[in-house]
Structure 1
Amino acid sequence: MAEQRTSEFIDDTQDCEARETAHRERGTARPVTVVGNPVLHSECKDVTEYGDELAALIDDMFASQRAAEGVGLAANQIGVDLKVFVYDCMDDEGVRHVGAVCNPVLDELPAGERVLDDSNEGCLSVPGAYAPLARPDYAVVRGTDAKGEPIAVRGTGYFARCLQHETDHLYGYLYIDRLAKRERKDVMRQMGESTPRYEVVPND
């Protein structure tokens, strides 16, 4: 079912369970790349071809996200150098959002409109580790859908954090890159002391 649009923003809250299940059942879960893998540390290529290959990738991403119990996943987190991410995320009001964005660009919020939320953040590519990170509690991402149609997605609270986090991935940034040296060191210690609960790609 096509996502309904209200004003300039897509409505990604309708038929979430059915849409996520359809993607996931068509897809195959892939192992997750972890910090240190080169594909995570450089800007991904723009999506320029919209067709069966991209649709299959998005299906695999939903399957991989569910297998890892994540709320968002960028293509480079399963080793694919393309600007696309998927999400299945609740906002702070408990509303579920499900969708995919290609070639995402975050709107710049005027300084006077930024309200920072310093909640904990984690990442499937930094398994078992968390750290507080201040991010705006409202975000707008613009890009295209899987068919190349322009879309805009907006989120608040935890969902806003998700949109910013996944967009960062596609430009070569992990959330730990935004931490002070001491906090980053603590995150890497946490990761080293934990065992991933999902399949990861070991770094050579």
Structure 2
Amino acid sequence: MKREIITYPNKRLFLKSEPVQEFNEELHTLLDDMYETMIAYNGVGLAAIQVDIPLRVMLVNIPDENEEQKKEDLLEIINPELTFLDDEQITCNEGCLSVPDFYEEVTRNKNIYLKYQDRFGNFKELEARGFLAVAIQHENDHLNGHLFIEKIAYSKKQKFDKEFKKNLKAKKKNTQAKK
């Protein structure tokens, strides 16, 4: 079932998510729903907090060389523990389903090591590089109550704030015009 994505400035996006304790059917339903939601909104990742569930659960599904997202490449990451392998950085143009229609350059670690659990509670490990590492860090930030817009330069943040307020005003005007 596709779920609603909460968007900025919803204060719930800034909650720190709690660890998953039970690996049960309820968790499996959440994971399945999150996948359906992520694909429906053309995302490459989704954290549970984005569908208003404050649990340490995230999905990442990077498109392949043909720009296709295959379910067999899906990473279901529960209770992640992330460490950086080195100081090498990468800059990517990031967007977020919870901050619609805004993209900006963000610098992150290029190489990470991840310990996590799968949907059944099995422990897994993964080394990720490049765009996969960026996507995992982006979703992990959500679990810690942070958005990518907090990582952009001050001048770009001001530009975002100005655009956001302008779009909010336009939406409000359209809503009132329809009444």
Taking structure 1 as the reference length, the TM-score comes to 0.74
- TM superposition shift of 1:98: 1.2
Q: Alignment partner for residue 69 of structure 1, among 42, 45, 53?
A: 42
In the alignment, what sits opposite 1:135?
Answer: 108
Contact kept in structure 1, 2:13 and 2:50, CA below 8 Å = yes
Gaps of 5+ in 1: 1-27, 196-204
Q: Is 1:104–2:80 an aligned residue pair?
A: yes
Mapped partners of 2:127, 2:38: distance in 1: 21
Q: More helix by proportion, 1 or 2?
A: 2
User: Which residue is 1:54 aligned to?
Assistant: 27
What amino acid sits opposite 1:131 in the alignment? E
Matches within 5 A, 1:172-183: 172-183=145-156
Please tell me the residue identity of whatever aligns with 1:63. Answer: E
- Aligned equivalents of 1:194, 1:101: Cα separation in 2: 34
Matched to 1:60, the amino acid is: D
Write the distance in 1 (CA, Å) between the matches of 2:130 and 2:165.
Answer: 29
Q: Which residue of 2 aligns with 1:144?
A: 117
Contact 1:65 1:71 in 2 (8 A): yes
> Aligned partner of 1:105: which letter?
E
Deviations 1:76-102 (A, max 9, x none): 001111110011113789796311011
Aligned counterparts of 1:81 and 1:190: Cα–Cα separation in 2: 28
Letter in 2 for 1:187: F
* Aligned partner of residue 150 in structure 2, secondary structure: helix
The percent identity for this pair of structures is: 30
Structure 2: how far apart are the matches of 1:33 and 1:155? 28
Given that residues 84 and 109 in structure 2 are in contact (C-alpha distance below 8 angstroms), is that contact kept between their aligned partners in structure 1? Answer: no
Q: Quick one: distance in 2 between partners of 1:188 and 1:100?
A: 33
Alignment of 1:30 onto 2:6: no
* 1:52-93 CA-partner distances (Å, limit 9, x unpaired): 000000000000001110000000001111110011113789
C-alpha separation in 1, matches of 2:111 and 2:68: 15
CA 1:153–1:91 in 2, change beyond 3 Å: closer, same or farther?
farther
> Structure 1 155/191 Cα, relative in aligned 2: closer, same or farther at 3 Å?
farther
Structure 2: 5+ residue runs without aligned partners?
Answer: 169-179
Give the whole-Å Cα distance in 1 for the aligned partners of 2:127 and 2:65.
Answer: 13
TM-score, length of structure 2 as denominator length: 0.83
Q: 1-side partners of 2:65 and 2:108: how far apart?
A: 14
> Aligned equivalents of 2:124 and 2:163: distance in 1?
37
> How many Å separate the matches in 2 of 1:188 and 1:66?
28
- Kindly provide the amino acid, as one letter, of the partner of residue 54 in structure 1: L
